[in-house]
A and B are shown apart, each in its own frame.
Chain A
Amino acid sequence: MADHQQKSDKTVHRHEALQKKLALKEERKHHNVSFIMMILLTLVAFYAISSDKIGDSFAVMFILVLAVVQVFFQLYIWMHLSHKGHEFPIWGMASGILIAAITVASLMGMIWTS
């Protein structure tokens, strides 16, 4: 009886280990993909600025969008924000970004438009 239990415990353990391995593999894949993507995005950003074919004002907006994408890669893939237990950092960052955005927008509106 005790022997039996030990055996099933062992298989459970093996199962868990396997799952962990798979998850790790998945994560490594994400890391590789995002690493390549981030290099590509950076190259594209450089190209957008150095090339004459793309207008200046469009290029600026374009690389800002790329920057936002990069931030998400950084936060979610590399800093694991998607994992459990990151609710507080997300709340903190979101409210910080919100307050900073309101502040910067109203400052720009009040100082440099009138």
Chain B
Amino acid sequence: MSTHASHKKRTGLMDWLTTVDHKKIGILYLLSGGFFFLIGGLEAILMRIQLIKPENDFVSAEMFNQLLTMHGTTMIFLAAMPIIFAFMNAIVPLQIGARDVAFPYVNAVGFWLFFFGGVLLNMSWFLGGAPDAGWTAYAPLSTVSAGHGVDFYVLGLQIAGAGTLAGGINFLVTIINMRAPGMTFMRMPLFTWASFVTSGLILFAFPALTVGFFLLMFERVFGAHFFNADMGGNVLIWEHIFWIFGHPEVYILILPAFGIISEIVSTFSKKRLFGYSAMVFATVLIGFLGFMVWVHHMFTVGLGAVANSIFAVATMAIAIPTGVKIFNWIFTMWGGQIRFTAPMLFAVGFIPTFVMGGVTGVMLSVPAADYQYHDSYFVVAHFHYVIVGGLVLGLFAGLYYWYPRMFNRVLNDTLGKWNFWLFFIGFHLTFFPQHWLGLMGMPRRVFTYMSGQQLDTSNFVSTIGALLMGAGTIVLFINIIISASKKNIASADPWDGRTLEWAMPVPTPEYNFAQTPLVRGLDALYVEKTAGNGKMTPAEPVGEIHMPNGSILPFIMSVGMFISGFGFIYANWYAAGGGLGIVLITMFLRSVIDDHGYHIHKEEVEADIKGGRA
């Protein structure tokens, strides 16, 4: 092919800056999400040290407000979301038998926007103070907050959010259009299903946040009065907009974890998932109901009995499809040949922990009772049970499970178990006492408390638990370093997998599948294993493979956004306009430069197959 000549092979740093390969973008997401996870964790530990004893003065009240805001914001937007995108990138195209996502270039744009948005937000630490209005940035607290902290919040998250939206759309299109022959919707692995529904939620929920951020930005930067009651605005509008986004967001977070747990429970029980179609239906239903419940975060603002009741019933309804999932996991394990490897341990730990978070959720969904719980540590306990006990355990499970596919190494199982037990025990020590703290009246988001209110012991235990969770995370990093220092490559299918991501050798060839596989049932690889051939039947002859070229433009475009973000924060219109100018120029270049990608020749593919590399 003539286009082949135009292909430059890049190496080293330049390769990572220009890559459009979903596998590499997945690793980039994982590394940067992991980095922000460490920062968010550090902020949490600092807060817990401050709260270890009454009237402590380890950090100041102002510092505490910044820590709590940045902890929540970082963990949700810069750690959890990107790590979810890491697994979606690394695994979904493989699971559906595709060679890449539908829009590899947009995928890179999405990553770099997230990355620079996150960096912008964290620059606030060094430039006069971080945002301090809570991750929810309620007006008027956020509109009157002094300094530039909240401006960093608005602009940083706006840029990162644009990247997330791009990623969500990309995965919707990928899953709809790029499935291999025979991969019908009802044969898709549950992680792919969860990614699909999560992407749909992103598509519908993030625009609300984008609009909200624009309103807040106009209020802070240009002096508008959307949320200023003195000027005819309404503070409640921010709250509504935030939670119209915010509740779907919590399901954006948890659904992929549900997907990961489904894969792992089925693989390590050596059984197909119990009630597959019920699982799919429950996932879709949870996604749909997730949009009808946002007012449960606002029961106490005085919307009236009717509004509160409607949203209470809708909220309780979500417990039903969630319960269906719990039972299906248990029935999947029932009578299975269970192997308690590290990923399975995390998955099994996930189930009861998440149930506890769900139960407190249903308690909170009763408006009359919520008047008691609201804004207390009880809510803090609830959402950490679902987010840490749910999502984070799910992400750890996924990391141990897919690590061999992503990094060609297996993590040490014994260290993995240490990681699990330290983290799991630490987690319950940290958050279980917070239920009591809340019921005894300790409000959330306070930087200290008085002694003699019987809050001392529980707070002390909670801090010790947090340190144990930190220790568990350190074990994970030791494990990663050890595995990286060893030379032995993982086997292609270390867990006796059931789905397509285990159907190619390690390292995964850059084109994933030398020949697009023919899918003949649910758990496509397992179908072939039981049929006796042990590997996928190809759906096409060996041929040329078309690949997209890498590009530095997504990186430059995101730098442009970063500069313009700074411009808006400091009301420097040259920087704001200049940054947007860079964005426009990169868009223009992308539109006028014809780039048809390149082809991998049939002979190369054949050589790869012969050499066991594909």
Contact = CB atoms under 8 A, between A and B. Distances in A.
A92 B287 CA distance: 13
Contact of B291 (A88, A102, A114): A102
A107 B240 contact: yes
B304 A99 contact: no
B13 interface: no
A95 B172 CA distance: 14
A88 B176 contact: yes
B292 interface: yes
A103 B244 contact: yes
Interface in A88-114: 88, 92, 95-96, 99, 102-103, 106-107, 109-111, 114
Contacts of B234: 111
A111 B204 contact: no
Interface in A63-106: 88, 92, 95-96, 99, 102-103, 106
Contacts of A95: 200, 204, 288
Contacts of A102: 291-292
B303 interface: yes
Contact of A114 (B200, B208, B304): B304
Interface in B549-596: none
A102 to B, nearest CB: 7
Contacts of A99: 204, 291
Contact of B240 (A92, A96, A110, A114): A110
B204 A96 contact: yes
A111 B304 contact: no
B183 to A, nearest CB: 16
A8 B208 CA distance: 59
Contacts of B236: 110-111
Contacts of B204: 95-96, 99
A92 B204 CA distance: 10
A111 B208 CA distance: 17
A106 B304 CA distance: 13
Nearest to B244: A103
A96 B240 CA distance: 18
Given A99-B204, A103-B244, A110 B303 contact: yes
A109 to B, nearest CB: 8
Contacts of A88: 176
Contacts of A110: 236, 240, 295, 303-304, 307
Nearest to B304: A114
Contacts of A114: 303-304
Contacts of A107: 240
Band of interface residues on B: 10 to 19
Contacts of B200: 92, 95
A100 to B, nearest CB: 8
B291 A111 contact: no
Contacts of A96: 203-204
A99 B293 CA distance: 12
Contacts of A109: 307
A85 to B, nearest CB: 10
A96 B291 CA distance: 11
Interface in B146-187: 172, 176
Nearest to B294: A103
Nearest to B205: A99
Interface in B222-260: 234, 236-237, 240, 244
A111 B307 contact: no
Nearest to B288: A95
A96 B244 CA distance: 13
B291 A103 contact: yes
A96 B176 CA distance: 17
A106 B176 CA distance: 32
A54 B200 CA distance: 43
Interface string B289-302: 00110010000000
Interface in B174-215: 176, 200, 203-204, 208
B349 to A, nearest CB: 34
A24 B233 CA distance: 53
A111 B176 contact: no
A109 B236 CA distance: 13
Contacts of B291: 99, 102-103
A59 to B, nearest CB: 27
A103 B314 CA distance: 14
A61 B376 CA distance: 47
Contacts of A92: 172, 200, 203
A12 to B, nearest CB: 27
A102 B291 CA distance: 9
Contacts of B240: 107, 110-111
Nearest to B177: A88
A92 B175 CA distance: 14
Interface string B269-303: 00000000000000000001001100100000001
A55 to B, nearest CB: 28
Nearest to A88: B176
A113 B176 CA distance: 41
Contacts of B295: 106, 110
A68 B127 CA distance: 50
Interface string B533-546: 00000000000000
Contacts of B292: 102
A79 B580 CA distance: 31
Interface in B437-460: none
Contacts of A106: 295, 307
A73 to B, nearest CB: 25
Contacts of B303: 110, 114
Contacts of B176: 88
Interface of A: 88, 92, 95-96, 99, 102-103, 106-107, 109-111, 114
14 contacts: A88-B176, A92-B200, A92-B203, A95-B204, A95-B288, A96-B204, A99-B204, A102-B291, A103-B244, A106-B307, A109-B307, A110-B236, A110-B295, A111-B240
Given A92-B200, A96-B203, 10 more contacts: A95-B288, A99-B204, A103-B208, A106-B295, A106-B307, A107-B240, A110-B240, A111-B234, A111-B237, A114-B304
